[in-house]
Every structure is written in structure tokens, then in C-alpha cells.
Structure 1
Amino acid sequence: MGDDHARYAPVDPVSTGFKGRCPRCAQGQLFDGFLALKKECLNCKLDYAFADSGDGPAVFVMTGLGFVVVGLALWLEVNYSPPLWLHLAIWFPLTIGLGLYLLRAIKGIMICLQYRNKAAPGEIDRG
């Protein structure tokens, strides 16, 4: 992970991750399916074994989207008082759709940031 700087120019982790591209070459695909990672980049052969985004993307998406959707739903209720079925028709599909879209994008961004910052599990130095 550390010896590839001579052959590959640095890429922007946000735009690369948002597009679901390889964090090293920005050409190969990062995902195999919707959220599953490929084993390696087909373009530069970067092994994706280092990538572990954990629950981070889900936490960011739920928190951010929750604030936005609840705020908009409260604004709509206070200003217009629509019936309950209209709230369900608006907010349920919006939450599911945006949540799935943002989950993939933020997972890609977090993996690209892990690669750029050489993130690794913590170790205790006992020497």
C-alpha cells in the first residue's frame, strides 16, 4: 500500500469514492454489486483486503438523513398539516431511496480515505 506513489498520481478520495472507483488508479471499479467490494482492482491490481468501512457509512447516513427528513417533515406538518397518508407517501420512499444512494457513496468515500491515509488497526508499542 505504500510503494505505489511513483506509478500512480494521487486522486481525490471524495470524487473517486463517490463514483465507486479504485482509490489508487481511479479507473477500476470498487464495488462488485451494490455494496460488496471486489477482491482487487481489475486495472491496477490493488488488493482491497485493507478496506474495512465497518458501520461508519450507515451511521453517517442515518444521522444526516434523519435530521433532514425529520426537519422537513416537521416543517411540512407545521405549515400545511397534510394527512398522514401524504407524509407516508413522501417521506418513506425519500428516506429509503436517499439512504441507499448515500450508503454506497459514503462507503466508497470512506474506503478511499482509508487508502489515502494508510489507515490500519491500532497497535500497542511495548518497546
Structure 2
Amino acid sequence: MTKDEAHYPPVDPVSVGLRGRCPRCGEGAMLEGLLGVKPTCSVCGLDYSFADAGDGPAVFVILIIGFIVVGLALWLEVNYSPALWVHLILWIPLATVLTLTLLRALKGLMIALQYRNKAAEGKIDRG
């Protein structure tokens, strides 16, 4: 990541990340489409080439949504014993919507935290 010489007031990385906004100015959209990262901010021109969320958001989404959906499915099964089709109609759409929503928010958060903490790829000094 190149050194950032622009002077912008600090923004909260959690709020801008969860909303998918630029981590420098807090105004421009950082994500395009469902999960794609734009090349630059349309407002301040920040280059998003440093952004690499990797698999971090996906792991958290799997753990969080899995806990919620499996817990609710077990509760429903123990208390009401519905037919299999009821489980399919309830949990597949719920898991899909929650996963896509949370994945987008956590990807934005991860990129905002990378910018805030000036995260970069590790390098070995062979001096």
C-alpha cells in the first residue's frame, strides 16, 4: 500500500465498513455489485488495490449463520416436529439471505480495518 498523503478526518472503520463506504472519506461506495470491490473511491479517489479480505469474512459468516440457523432448526424440530419440507422452506432461504447480507457487511468491515491499521503483505528482511 502506498503512503496516504490526503488529509481527511478520521472515520469509524466499523460504521463505514458495515455500510460498505470508503474507509478514508466515509462517503463513496467501496463495494460494487454483491461482493466486488471497486477500483477506486468515486469521491476521494482512494485506490482500493490494497484491499484483500481473503477468507476471513466467510469463516465468520459460516460460524455465525450456522449457529443461528442450526439452533433455530433444532428448536423447531424438538418443539413442533414439522415435516422435512417445512425445514427446507424455512432454513434455506433464511440462511441464503443472512449469509449474503452478513458477508457483504463483514467484507466491508475487513477492508476498512485493513486501511485503518495500514495492513500490508508480510515481508522478510534478508538484510
TM-score (structure 2 length as normaliser):
0.93
Q: Which residue is equivalent to 1:25?
A: 25
**Map 1:12-51 → 2, pairs under 5 A:** 12-51=12-51
Q: Which runs of 5+ in 1 are unaligned?
A: none
Q: Which residue is equivalent to 2:105?
A: 105
**Map 1:1-127 → 2, pairs under 5 A:** 2-4=3-5, 7-127=7-127
SS for the counterpart of 1:26 is coil
- The alpha carbon displacement at 1:34 in A equals 1.5
Distance 1:104 1:114 in 2: 16
Q: Which runs of 5+ in 2 are unaligned?
A: none
Distance 1:104 1:4 in 2: 28
Greater shift, 94-103 or 53-62, is seen at 53-62
Q: Which amino acid aligns with 1:107?
A: K
Greater shift, 79-88 or 106-115, is seen at 79-88
SS for the counterpart of 1:39 is coil
- The alpha carbon displacement at 1:10 in A equals 1.2
Distance 2:115 2:5 in 1: 11
Distance 1:34 1:80 in 2: 36
Greater shift, 117-126 or 46-55, is seen at 117-126
Q: Which runs of 4+ in 1 moved over 2 A?
A: 1-5
Distance 1:63 1:44 in 2: 35
